[in-house]
Amino acid sequence: MRALLTLIPLACAVAVAGTAIAQEAGKSVWQGIYTEDQAQRGAGTYAQRCGACHGAALNGTGEAPPLIGGEFVSHWDTMTVGDLFDRVRTTMPQNDPQSLTREEYADVLAFLLKNNGFPAGGQPLDKRSEVLATIGITAEKPAGL
Ligand code: HEC
């Protein structure tokens, strides 16, 4: 009995550590973190609010850098979707920052992710920065996903 009583707290400690590790590992942008519908809504918002500077095909203009391709993705490699969301939310559109709703920013982000080859899935992209901060961006699809 005594041995059992000392084992219980140990088992709890191991369980708690396991949860912490799972949260740290988080999710990946390669796991289908937005829906097709969301990306489609985002396309409309992009055309109205972003395309004039970043180009209709996201490939940049004299006014603003491309939001598609290797250079763009490498800027965000090893960062999180939350970092990208907050960067866009707080600084874009450059001529009127923070003028979209969180839903609209999430939709535009879904559109950007789709155009950069990250897959759609069944769950819409969250609009809370702290949730998006648990989703890692990697240029290469991690082995095993
Ligand atoms: C008035 C022009 C303008 C508009 C409109 C605009 N941007 Fe930008 N954007 C810029 C410029 C200029 C930069 C480069 C300077 C900087 O990084 O702030 C930039 C940078 C960015 C970056 C960083 C690029 C990188 O390589 O990391 C992202 C992401 C971005 N914009 C997204 C958006 C989105 C999404 C919208 C629409 C909601 C938008 N922008 C609307 C001008 C604009």
Whether the CB of 61 sits within 6 Å of ligand 1: no
**What pLDDT does 145 receive?**
87
Asked if pLDDT for residue 39 goes beyond 70, the answer is yes
As a whole number of angstroms, the longest Cα–Cα distance in the chain is 75
Comparing CA positions, the residue from 39, 136, 37 lying closest to residue 80 is 136
Whether the CB of 89 sits within 6 Å of ligand 1: no
Give 97 or 9, the one with higher predicted confidence: 97
| Cα–ligand 1 centroid distance for 1 (angstroms) | 64
**What pLDDT does 10 receive?**
54
Whether the CB of 49 sits within 6 Å of ligand 1: yes
Asked if pLDDT for residue 19 goes beyond 60, the answer is no
Would you place residue 22 in the very low, low, confident or very high pLDDT band (cuts 50, 70, 90)?
very low
Asked if pLDDT for residue 47 goes beyond 80, the answer is yes
- Give per-residue pLDDT as tens, 90-136: 999 999 999 999 999 999 999 999 999 999 999 999 999 999 999 99
- Contact assessment for residue 33 and residue 81, using Cβ atoms and an 8 Å cutoff: yes
Nearest residue CA, atom 2 of ligand 1?
A: 53
Asked if pLDDT for residue 17 goes beyond 70, the answer is no
The CA radius of gyration of the chain, in Å to the nearest whole number, is 19
The CA-atom distances, in angstroms, between 14 and each of 1, 3, 6, 20, 81 are 20, 17, 13, 10, 30
**What pLDDT does 101 receive?**
98
- Give per-residue pLDDT as tens, 72-83: 999 999 999 999
- Above pLDDT 90, what percent of the chain? 80
Determine the Cα–Cα distance for residues 53 and 36; give it in Å rounded to an integer: 24
